[in-house]
Amino acid sequence: MKYIITILFYTGVCSSISSQHTFIEDFKLKWQNAKEYTLEFARAMPAEKYTYTPTPEEMTFGRQLIHMCGNMIWLSSSYLDAPPFGKDVDHPSEKKEDVIRLLEESFDYTARAIEKFPITMLDDNVDFFAGPMTKRRVFLLLTDHVTHHRGQLVVYLRLNGIEPPRYRGW
């Protein structure tokens, strides 16, 4: 009986680690695709339209992208144990080429954090301003936030007569 319990225990542990590993591998692929897709949006808007805003209350097109970068860096460094970013993101340039570079660097920064993230910590809880959550949920928040702002960029592009990149969410 003790032998059976031991086997069941180790089977459960191995199964859990395997599913966590699968989650990380799936997330890495999703993150790379999100990077490429978001860069298509950034490249689609002409440089002179990076200061475009549909209403005074909204962020400019460039600020939307910069905001996405700041969130990636904040979540990665605060909750996924990434080292400091090493670059000022509080007052970045809004020039198209600078924003695109920051976007690439921010996605890559988070990708490195994901690559080094210990899978055994996915279910660890963190204190988040909206309440406690697991680090796994922080991963999900990363993609949700990017998707939210990329959706806003669809409108910015359309209001400027630019067809947004074809949807792909994989």
User: Is residue 3 assigned to a domain?
Assistant: no
Q: Is residue 40 part of a domain?
A: yes
pLDDT of 115: 95
Where does the pLDDT of residue 5 fall: very low under 50, low under 70, confident under 90, or very high at 90 and above?
low
Closest CA to 115 of 14, 21, 19: 21
Could you tell me the pTM of the whole model?
0.86
Task: Tell whether 102 is covered by a domain.
Answer: yes
Residue predicted with more confidence, 7 or 140: 140
| 33-71 pLDDT per residue, tens | 999 999 999 999 999 999 999 999 999 999 999 999 999
- Of 111, 146, 113, which Cα lies nearest the Cα of 40? 146
**How high is the mean pLDDT of the chain?**
89
Task: Tell me if 85 is assigned to some domain.
Answer: yes
Tell me whether residue 7 is in a domain: no
Q: Among 8-12, 102-106, 133-137, 158-162, which is the least confidently predicted range?
A: 8-12
Q: What are the structure tokens assigned to 73, written together?
A: 């860096």
Mean pLDDT for 136-154 is 96
CATH of the domain at 127: 1.20.120.450
Decide: residue 10, CB within 10 A, 0-12 exposed, 13-18 middle, 19+ buried: exposed
Is the pLDDT assigned to residue 16 strictly greater than 90? no
Across-strand partners of 125? Answer: 134
Domain membership of residue 128 (yes or no) is yes
What is the number of domains present in the chain?
A: 1
Cα→Cα distances 70→26, 128, 159, Å: 23, 16, 25
Range of the structural domain that residue 130 is part of = 22-159
User: Could you give the CA distance from residue 80 to residue 84 in angstroms, rounded to a whole number?
Assistant: 11
Residue 15 lies in a domain: no
CA 28-31-35 angle, to 5 degrees, is: 140
Q: Identify whether 48 is part of a domain.
A: yes
